Amino acid sequence: MTPGARIAAAIEILADIETRHRPAADALKDWGLAHRFAGSKDRAALATLVFDALRCRASAAWIVGEETPRAIVLGSLREMRGLSADEIGALCTGEGHAPPPLSEVERARLTEGALDDAPDPVRGDYPEWLAPAFAAAFGESAVAEGRALAARAPLDLRVNTLKATREKAQKALAHLGAEPTPLSPLGLRVPLSEDGRSASLAGEPAYLKGLVEIQDEGSQLAALLAAPVPGEQVLDLCAGGGGKTLALAAAMDNRGQIYATDREARRLGPLYARLERATTRNVQVRNPRRGQNVLADLEGHCDLVLVDAPCTGTGTWRRNPDAKWRIRPGALEQRLKEQDEVLESAALYVKPGGRLIYITCSLLPAENEERIAAFLARYTDFSAIGAEALLAAAGLPELARFAGPHGTGLRLSPLTSGTDGFFIAGLRRA
């Protein structure tokens, strides 16, 4: 496909996403099935174009003066790739499968359009209905935080210390340009290509042999801050695909016991192969069963209960840019209810003197500090673990600058820490 044909296809795919209100991944997959002539490089380039357009949908539409798929894609070429109006015009010739030529208005807007007078949600590329929440969370930094969330995310890897040191893993991935992450002592970061694509690990021996796992640096830090101790009894209550479960197992050097479960059994599916690849031996997966409490024997017996709570995922917008435009106020209300429920469930399994670590990939106070405050008001036998004590237990005192400004816990974000957005708080039972 020519560059112009790719742009036309991106406009078509974006129109499908907008019309059918569907995830971008589904629209991209269907387009690929219907256009089998497109090779793997074409499909990867298309995905980058579509995701770039979704990252800056609001600002791109403002620049061009329309909210059409064509306007958003054209505006994103300027905003995300720094192309000039002339360079964009050279791609839109109307010849072959390229988009029709730029109109005089489009060319003028792409040349002179600016965001100076745009409202904060447009300049920060986040939904208008979340503006009050962003203002409450970030104050004057709301736009900057939004723009950081709209940037492309790097490929972060966690070194599996059961099999390798960071130095060994970095050497194995040197051809990909892997470098140590600045905050996590276990992380490696692989830079994106010039067109914004991540390196493929499908054929990398270091990945296939379990030396590394894909995990954002922020997620790595969240697992480290849980500070599991070898020999402890640990419950990962919302394990999902098992990223943090694997990190906990490595930190415990395969000693003690980790119980991994999730409300949705299907989410646990990938965990089995990952456990085998990582040579993890201290994890027991407990699949939920209708009408049965598969965790009954753990009530009041766990040294550590990890809650990676369901949330709006505002902190992961770099990796899921379409999610921020599909989320609705009703979804936030539902997540708040689910977070209260999972915290109440988690409390059952914490033994006296044990710890509960609450994590979200959200940056909204309603899902973070407010949920912790509400929990502590109901459960007087729990108290917050101060940020200083949390960091000391994990051996990460240098993260003190990320202590949450709204109360207990730590907050990471693309703008402040260069990671995905995370909130981490610790609670201890009397």
- Residues serving a catalytic function are 361
**Residue-wise over 332-353: b if at least 16 C-beta within 10 A, else e?**
beebbebbeebbeebbbbbbee
DSSP 54-88: HHTHHHHHHHHT--SHHHHHHHHHHHTT---HHHH
Pure H helices in 181-268 = 205-208, 217-225, 243-251
- Cα(267)–Cα(261) distance, integer angstroms: 9
Query: Can you give the length of the chain in residues?
Result: 430
308 is in an annotated binding site: yes
- Cα(264)–Cα(195) distance, integer angstroms: 36
Distances (CA, A) of 48 to 24, 184, 337, 421: 11, 27, 35, 21
Nearest to 370 by CA among 332, 421, 322: 332
Distance of CA 56 to the CA centre of its chain: 17
Distance of CA 214 to the CA centre of its chain: 12
- Cα(147)–Cα(418) distance, integer angstroms: 12
Specify burial of residue 373 (Cβ count, 10 A radius: 0-12, 13-18, 19+): middle
| Both structure tokens of 166 | 């960071």
DSSP letter at 318 equals: T
DSSP letter at 139 equals: G
216 is in an annotated binding site: no
What residue numbers does the annotated binding site cover?
A: 262, 308
What residue numbers does the annotated binding site for S-adenosyl-L-methionine cover?
A: 262, 308
